[in-house]
Amino acid sequence: MINISKDMIKSYALENATKHDGKANQGAVLAGLFAEGLEKSDIKEIIPTIKKIIQEVNNMSKSKQRKLLEESAFEISKREIREGLKELPNAKMGKVVMRMAPFPSGPLHIGNVRTMILNDEYVEMYKGKLLIVMDDTIGSDEKRIEPEAYKLIEDAVRWLGINFDKKIIYKSDRLEKYYAYAEEMLKKGYLYVCSCDREIMHDLKSKGIACSCRILPPEIQMERWKKMFNAKVGSMVVRLKTDMLDSDPAFRDRVMFKISDNPHPRTGTKFRVYPSMEFSWGIDDHLLGSTHILRGVDHYMSTRVQNFIRGIFGWENPESIYNGHFAIEGVKISKSGATKKIKSGEYVGWNDPRTWSVQSLRDRGIKKEAIREFILGLGMRKTNITAPVESLYILNRKLLEDAPRYFFVESPTKITISGCPYLIAEIPFHPNGKLGTRKYETTQEFLIPKKDFDLMENGNYRLMHLLNFKSDTINIMSPRTFSFISEEPDNNLKTKFLQWLPATPDNIDVEVMMPDGNIIKGKGEFALAELKVGSIIQFERFGFVRLHKKEKEKLEFWFAHR
Ligand SMILES: [Zn+2]
């Protein structure tokens, strides 16, 4: 049962139309409906209704669209899941400062870009400022900083067209600032250096009992803090004095600094004492002037701790706006898993399609405009979203409508069509006629995909744009024969369409890397030789691909989608 009402479809169509010069886009509307709970299996059933409604909306005047949207917007916002962006609380035009804080453990993937794009849109909306802060204090043994990630993140942000403020900020450059605030807090008794065993401390915290380190006077705390810089890893931590009887045991006296001997990719072994993310942000959101923070719903605790720290200094708190988790149906993303496979050589690199990194999407021919529209279609919401990747492809396909079309035959099998005239076929690169044509000289020998050959039955077939022929066989043991019928398309023949190439040595070896890492091999037409790396084209009856690598004897494409 589909739980999507016509009103809902109409609201999304109106919303999208008003944003795009009066014309709603089916992919964007679908993306919005997925966020409303539309199931992939329902698409077939609901698509005629959606098409009808979009057509209806697109035929309205823009003023009527706006008027109807205003009337229906209540319905959407009531559900707190409306497409597009809600106003930020207490945001003043020109005064909004937001920040994004990638942890450099790998490239940004499709899941990470949601926050990036939402931040970018908000800053644009309020004419504010967006900071990029590499959250690279030290990480942990499970979550290590990957030196290459810095550049990959920066490249992805630039490619996506995220408009950020001048220079990227590195937490690892700011350790001495955190130390200074820590010392001030130690002297005033807000922090203490704890040398208790972790297990024991956990037990004490759960019982609401303070450890003996907590009550030592500030002078001793300062001495212990100085000792910490030469102490053994794990022997001491700095804790924030909260309330040992707080209703949430996890909030009680959390760790603010720890010792690590892991060399840092940027600062090496210069520092050994590192702040927690909570501590650094408690300080930095004040120093950097953040006014609004978009964060995941699992960050309520961080917000509370950071606000507690700012409370000590009497600083104002930024507004935190929470977003549910975002996942893509059928796509498993594991940064640490990908890192291992890249290092072992199983993946071709950080752009391997199986990483779902921004680089991988770019190299497959997914346009940044499609990614942005896909993300915005999902909107802001506290509940978790799982969107099918197909809705991204729908948006991308729309952008690639005018891509030139070429012939490619997967695992080619040669057939000979008897009685076939030698032809010179002039075939346009695109049915719109704007991209010119190329000529094929054909004989009686053609290449067709092995898959199609294996499924052939007795009956009529058409080589796309070229000719009709008959496929025949007397019995299963005798070889299949093919005979020419005619050139012009003929509905009476009830032909099945086949992709083909003339069987000539001019064809080029082509490999296509699929999103699952599989490589499909075949032959492509000679005209492909003129393409430049980065060109996005369509292989007819196969799908959209981007030229990844050109070798003397071979072209390597990466597959975008059908
Ligand atoms: Zn202690």
Long-range contacts, 434-441 (Cβ 8 Å, 24+) = 434/402, 435/402, 435/404, 438/525, 438/527, 440/466, 440/502, 440/525, 441/502, 441/504
507 Cα: distance to centroid of ligand 1 (angstroms): 74
Cα-to-centroid distance, 192 and ligand 1 (Å): 8
Reported as a pLDDT band with limits 50, 70 and 90, residue 31 is confident
Ligand 1 centre to CA of 176 (Å) is 24
Ligand 1 geometric centre to CA of 307 (Å)? 24
Q: Which residues neighbour 111 within 8 Å (Cβ) at sequence distance 6 or greater? A: 326, 327, 328, 333, 356
Centroid of ligand 1 to alpha carbon of 276 (angstroms): 18
Instruction: Output the CA 122–ligand 1 centroid distance in Å.
Output: 44
Distance 348 CA to ligand 1 centre (A): 48
More confident residue, 202 or 12: 202
In angstroms, what is the span from residue 462 Cα to ligand 1's centroid? 81
Residue 71 has pLDDT above 80, yes or no: no
> Backbone phi, then psi, for 94, in 5-degree steps?
80, -5
Phi and psi at residue 289, to the nearest 5°? 75, 30
Would you state the pLDDT for residue 111? 80
Lowest mean per-residue pLDDT among 182-196, 375-389, 430-444: 375-389
CA 252 – ligand 1 centroid, Å = 13
For residue 76, is pLDDT > 60?
Answer: no
pLDDT at residue 82 greater than cutoff 50: no
Residue 81 pLDDT > 70: no
Burial class (CB in 10 A: 0-12, 13-18, 19+), 414: exposed
Alpha-carbon gap, residue 493 to 406, rounded angstroms: 26
Q: Please give the full DSSP string across 91-106, using - where no structure is assigned.
A: --TTT-EEEE----SS
> What's the CA-to-centroid distance between 175 and ligand 1, angstroms?
24
Distance 228 CA to ligand 1 centre (A): 13
Q: Give the distance (Å) from ligand 1 centre to CA of residue 283.
A: 24
Q: Considering only residues 525 and 71, tell me which one the structure prediction assigns the higher pLDDT.
A: 525
Q: How far is the CA of 203 from the centre of ligand 1 (A)?
A: 12
Spatial distance between the Cα atoms of 429 and 537, rounded to a whole number of angstroms: 10
Distance, CA 209 to ligand 1 centroid (Å)? 11
- For residue 231, the CA-to-ligand 1 centroid distance in Å is 15
Q: 213 CA to middle of ligand 1, Å?
A: 4
| Ligand 1 centroid distance, CA of 244 (Å) | 13
Rounded to the nearest 10°, the torsion over CA 14, 20, 26, 29 is -50
- DSSP class of 163: -
Backbone phi and psi for residue 311, each to the nearest 5 degrees, phi listed first: -60, -35
Place of tokens 């599989």: 518
Residue 20 alpha carbon to ligand 1 centre in Å? 60
Q: Give residue 235's pLDDT band: very low, low, confident or very high (50, 70, 90).
A: very high
Q: Kindly tell me if the per-residue pLDDT of 274 is higher than 50.
A: yes
pLDDT reported for residue 112? 87
Cα dihedral value 38, 44, 48, 50, nearest 10:
20
What is the whole-number distance in angstroms between the Cα of residue 200 and the centre of ligand 1? Answer: 9
Over residues 138-149, the mean pLDDT reads 87
Q: Which of 343, 336, 335 is nearest to 110 (CA)?
A: 335
Tell me the CA–centroid distance for residue 253 and ligand 1, in Å.
Answer: 10
pLDDT digits over 456-475, tens only?
A: 999 999 999 999 999 999 88
Whether the CB-CB separation of 266 and 170 falls below 8 Å is answered with yes
pLDDT at 75: 53
The SS3 assignment for 408 reads strand
β-sheet bridge partners, residue 192: 239
User: How far is CA 534 from each of CA 280, 364, 508, rounded to the nearest angstrom?
Assistant: 41, 9, 18
Per-residue pLDDT tens digits for 338-397: 889 999 999 999 999 999 999 999 999 999 999 999 998 887 778 888 888 999 999 999
With bands split at pLDDT 50, 70 and 90, how would you rate the model's confidence at 504? very high
Q: 193 C-alpha to center of ligand 1: Å?
A: 7
CA of 272 to the centre of ligand 1 (A): 20
Q: How far apart are CA 280 and CA 137, in angstroms?
A: 8
Q: How far is the CA of 142 from the centre of ligand 1 (A)?
A: 25
pLDDT at 253 over 60: yes
How far is the CA of 392 from the CAs of 261, 376, 377, 545, 561, in angstroms? 43, 11, 10, 15, 10
For residue 84, the model assigns a pLDDT of 59
Mean pLDDT in residue range 230-244: 97
83 pLDDT more than 50: no
- 180 Cα: distance to centroid of ligand 1 (angstroms): 22
Weakest-pLDDT range from 41-55, 229-243, 256-270, 499-513: 41-55
The Å distance, Cα 140 to ligand 1 centre, comes to: 22
Rounded to 5 degrees, what are φ and ψ at 256?
-110, -30
Question: In 10 A of CB 379, how many CB atoms?
Answer: 22
> How far does residue 240's CA lie from ligand 1's centre (Å)?
11
CA 365 – CA 544 distance, rounded (Å): 8
**What pLDDT, on the 0 to 100 scale, is given for residue 252?**
97
For the full predicted model, state whether its pTM sits above 0.85. no
Higher pLDDT, 143 or 265: 265
Contact 338, 105 (CB under 8 A): no
Distance 230 CA to ligand 1 centre (A): 18
Give the pLDDT score at 73: 53
CA–centroid distance, 411 to ligand 1, in Å, is 68
Report how far ligand 1's centroid is from the alpha carbon of 259 (Å): 15
Least confident of 65-79, 124-138, 299-313, 461-475: 65-79
Query: Ligand 1 center to residue 39 CA distance, Å?
Result: 52
Residue 460: CB atoms within 10 A of its CB come to 16
Structure tokens, 343:
């290092």
> Ligand 1 centre and the CA of 219: distance in Å?
16
Q: How close is the Cα of 112 to the center of ligand 1, in Å?
A: 37
Cα angle: 121, vertex 294, 106; to 5 degrees? 90
CB-based contact 428:436 (threshold 8 Å)? yes
d(CA 223, CA 236): 13
527-537: per-residue pLDDT in tens?
Answer: 999 999 999 99
Residues 6+ apart with CB under 8 A from 458: 471, 472, 473
If we measure between CA atoms, which residue out of 127, 548, 86 comes closest to residue 360?
548
Q: List, for residues 302-338, the tens digit of each pLDDT value.
A: 999 999 999 999 999 999 999 888 888 878 888 888 8
CA of 204 to the centre of ligand 1 (A): 9
DSSP for 462-508?
EETTTEEEEEE-SSTTSPPEEEEEESS--GGG-PEEE--EE--TT-E
CA-to-CA distance for 544 and 366, rounded, in angstroms? 10
Mean pLDDT of the chain: 92
Summary count for the chain: helices (H), strands (E): 16, 27
Which residues, 6+ apart, have CB-to-CB distance to 374 below 8 Å? 31, 387, 391, 392, 395
In angstroms, what is the span from residue 281 Cα to ligand 1's centroid?
A: 24
Instruction: Give the pLDDT confidence score for residue 502 in this predicted structure.
Output: 97
